[in-house]
A and B are shown apart, each in its own frame.
Chain A
Amino acid sequence: MDVYSFLIQLLNGLQYGLLLFLVASGLTLIFGIMGIINLAHGSFYMIGAYMAFSLSSLTGSLFLAVVIGIVLSVILGIVLEWALFSHLYNRDHLEQVLLTYGLILVFEELRSLIVGNDVHGVTVPALFNWSIPLTDTLSYPVYRLFMSAVCIALAFLLWLLIAKTRLGMMIRAGASNREMVASLGLNINLVYRLVFALGVALAAFAGMIAAPVSSVYPGMGTSVLIICFVVVVIGGIGSIWGALVASLLIGLADTFGKVLIPEAAGVTVYLLMAIILLWRPEGLFRRV
């Protein structure tokens, strides 16, 4: 593999990893802070992608679609938390798994009813629809670089929110001891609702910006969910930093694995997980 091909695969791996991080961070945030395992998290990614498709077809602009989509997903997150997830706080894992599994079924069928089961493409916005030439035969799409940049920016903003703001402080306190925070007079229910909405919005946003690259298809929620689980297991649940490291690791392993050993394509990720399970079962950066 020459330098330029290697560079292309490296960039692809990083971009995939960063996108995964966006989705996985929502999952690990919701579990780390609220103690809820949400199997339907992949569905939010799918919903984001389908929203990008339908809204951009309607408005003609992906940017506008993304803005509207973010607002809609925050509303969805707030409604879901209020209606369903607030019941799950002290319940055991089996019940959380089942309720969120039921939610996946509901989302999939609703999508089937509303938009159908077809695979769709979303066109890359004209602003980014060009490539940087690397050699006379190879070039790299600028949209992918844009995606990576957006993910890095969001990761930084997330860190800022959690580590440096008052809301972030309340979130971290609520993760340690929910009752204490409530008895100190802070509205922990509102905090949880916001955290959940944030998680949903992150996953949906990831689906929206990934749509032009990975196309919009019915099974996308499931595939991203499983990989996110692997990310969380490797990174350690509740740890955003772990999610970032693990996502990048998986992004690179999967991309290079597919290129170097195409027969074993999907298995590289699981192999990685198996190794981590043998070596450090609680994840690389366990928080709780």
Chain B
Amino acid sequence: MNRRKIALLAVLALLALFPFAGATFYTELVTKVMILAIFALSLDLLVGYTGLVSFGHAAYYGIGAYVLGLMTPKYEAASLWLTLPAAIAVAGLAALAVGIFVVRVKGIYFIMVTLAFAQMFYFLFHDTEIGRGSDGISMNFKPTAEIGGVTPFDLGNATHVYFFVFVILILVFLFLHILLRSPFGRALQGIRSNEHRMRSLGFPVYRYKLASFAIAGALAGLAGYLSAMQFGFVNPELLSWHQSGNVLLMLILGGQGSLIGAVTGAFAFVALQEVYQSVTTHWQLLLGATIIALVIFLPGGLASVAGRFKRKLIGGPENE
């Protein structure tokens, strides 16, 4: 086995053992990070592998969360096995619907229209009664995993939730890994690389981009669902453009175009956020300044730091 695989397995093992080592607070924190990692992975499919920079991805994250919020009855628990697929399906459909409009345009326009449509959804949940307005929805019960009379795990228990999310993270990662190696995934990367060439080779580029957009939206909905499940609360801020900006930041922190980079970026982002929030209430100032410095000095993300360091030590070509 090569070094990268060993490192990856080591990290997985660490993550698997983590809940037994720390206090509940840290278990919940890492659960939150893993959920954001799923969110970042979903966007990475779109940005890193298809080359479509979306600034409105939080819309589908929020929609997945609201599905749980709206489907949870007031005085009993909703069924996990019903609500989770529903959240994925609804978020994916929403992404498909928006995609039909936005995938027609490229580059700057794409960024702007994805943001505009996300804002439309934000206002829908914030200003109308569909999502109970700006107060959001509070869920009295976590979803239950009961099936056929048996409850395999309890989503009210932090450790159970941790492992549930951990397994889903691994499944999403494997799904994307396999998808990206398939002919479909290769075509997406070809589109990122040179769209005209792909079109001249006969690929129906519009359909591929639309499919990528819908899948990314569905996975974002999955992450949103998990987030709602963890916190027991949904509000319109889940769809805000701050959320969309943060997930893009995770990609650039971890290095886009790499699945592991997306996960790393999520960890790095939450770490940064925790540190800054403990320093000052005006932590967004520090975050903003960090983002600016990152773009100017480290365009390849944190992943490129190792590469640069290595090159400084032993020399080699600048652009590998």
Contacts and interface: CB of A to CB of B under 8 A. Distances in A.
B58 to A, nearest CB: 13
A98 B104 contact: no
> Taking each of B113, B249, B287, which has the highest tally of chain A beta carbons within 10 Å of its own beta carbon?
B113
A101 B291 contact: yes
B285 A109 contact: yes
B252 A98 contact: yes
A102 B290 contact: yes
A226 B120 CA distance: 10
Contacts of A233: 105, 109, 112-113, 116
Contact of B108 (A104, A108, A222, A237): A237
Given A93-B107, A281-B104, A282-B105, A102 B295 contact: yes
A97 B285 CA distance: 17
B108 to A, nearest CB: 5
B193 to A, nearest CB: 13
A113 B284 CA distance: 11
Contacts of A232: 112
Interface size classification for chain B = 35 or more
A277 B101 contact: yes
| Nearest 3 CB-CB pairings of A with B | A105-B288, A102-B291, A109-B285
A282 B241 CA distance: 24
B291 to A, nearest CB: 3
Contacts of B285: 105-106, 109-110, 113
Contacts of B55: 97
Given A273-B113, A281-B104, A94 B248 contact: yes
A87 interface: yes
Contacts of B294: 98, 102
B101 A98 contact: no
> Taking each of B104, B109, B248, B249, which has the highest tally of chain A beta carbons within 10 Å of its own beta carbon?
B109
B109 A237 contact: yes
Interface string A59-95: 0000000000000000000000000100100010111
A214 interface: no
Interface of B: 47, 53, 55, 101-102, 104-105, 107-109, 111-113, 115-117, 119-120, 123-124, 127, 241, 245, 248-249, 251-252, 256, 282, 284-285, 287-292, 294-296, 299
Contacts of B282: 109, 112-113
Contacts of B245: 98, 101
B284 A105 contact: yes
A141 interface: no
B104 A105 contact: no
A245 interface: no
B247 to A, nearest CB: 11
A96 to B, nearest CB: 8
Interface of A: 31, 37, 84, 87, 91, 93-95, 97-99, 101-106, 108-110, 112-113, 222, 226, 229-230, 232-233, 237, 265-267, 270, 273-274, 277-278, 281-283
Contact of B111 (A97, A277, A283): A97
> Taking each of A105, A109, A232, A233, which has the highest tally of chain B beta carbons within 10 Å of its own beta carbon?
A105
Contacts of A108: 284
A244 to B, nearest CB: 18
Given A98-B249, A232-B112, A233-B112, A270 B117 contact: yes
Given A91-B295, A99-B291, 14 more contacts: A31-B108, A94-B252, A97-B53, A97-B55, A101-B248, A101-B249, A102-B290, A109-B282, A113-B282, A233-B105, A267-B120, A267-B123, A267-B124, A281-B104
A99 B292 contact: yes
A281 B105 contact: yes
Contacts of A104: 288
> Taking each of A87, A101, A230, A282, which has the highest tally of chain B beta carbons within 10 Å of its own beta carbon?
A101
Contacts of A266: 120, 123, 127
Contacts of A105: 284-285, 287-288, 291
B133 to A, nearest CB: 14
